[in-house]
Amino acid sequence: MTTAFPSAKRAAVRSAVAQAWVERMAGDPEAVSALGVARAHLAAGRNLTGLRRLRVFELWGGLAERGRLEDLLHRSTQFYNPYKERCTVRLSFGDPAPVASADAIALVVERGGERRSAAERWWLHETGEKIEVREGVAWVMSFAVGESAAERARELTVLEDRRHGLFCNPHSQDHRVSGAAVPLPWIGAPQKGAKHGG
């Protein structure tokens, strides 16, 4: 049985936002399939040279320093499986996302369904701190030299018909597109009136 942090350790807790980028260590069949469809059937995808799919978590609230935060993420199956996935943590805009400088990234979130309440409950149990956790899917796109990555990424992201878009169903999902300088926060701010920290 795990116990929450003693109150003496709360001094090391700060109010913040963090991103955790989670990617499979082995090949991702969904990304491989999407790459094939984009290159074969979508004009915007003809010069798509690479495609990766990562889960992105944003944690808001009373977060520990980097080492403790990474340890908590590593221990919880609410976020990732360290035997099958790797996790990159960002605590500031200056921390790079795990993408190449020429990549374009499309973040897709389920409209109204991005909160991860089970992860929030686990965090409260482990640390005594209330946080908000949101999750989205990041599609990391690499294009041939000379392509406008941002423009092609926008064309590929939102599904319009059989020949346009692939990653986001506009009827039930929201999206954002970025270059390698990914915003932090990116998924969204905590709900108004939410309390964080102890």
pLDDT in tens, the chain (198 residues): 333 333 334 435 555 899 999 999 998 999 999 999 999 999 999 999 999 999 999 999 989 899 999 999 999 999 999 999 999 999 999 999 999 999 999 999 999 999 999 999 999 999 999 999 999 999 999 999 999 999 999 999 999 998 999 999 999 999 999 999 999 999 975 554 444 333
Cα distance between residue 31 and residue 36, in whole Å: 9
* Count of CB atoms situated within 10 Å of the CB of 185: 15
Cβ atoms of residues 132 and 60 within 8 Å = yes
- So what's the pLDDT on residue 1? 37
Residue boundaries of the structural domains of the chain: 14-178
Which amino acid is residue 98, in one-letter code? Answer: P
Q: Find tokens 């003809």 and name the residue.
A: 46
Pair type for strands 131-143 and 173-178: unpaired
Bridge partners of 176?
107
Element (H, E) at 20: strand 14-24
Cβ atoms of residues 158 and 170 within 8 Å = yes
* 141 alpha carbon, distance to own chain's centre: 14
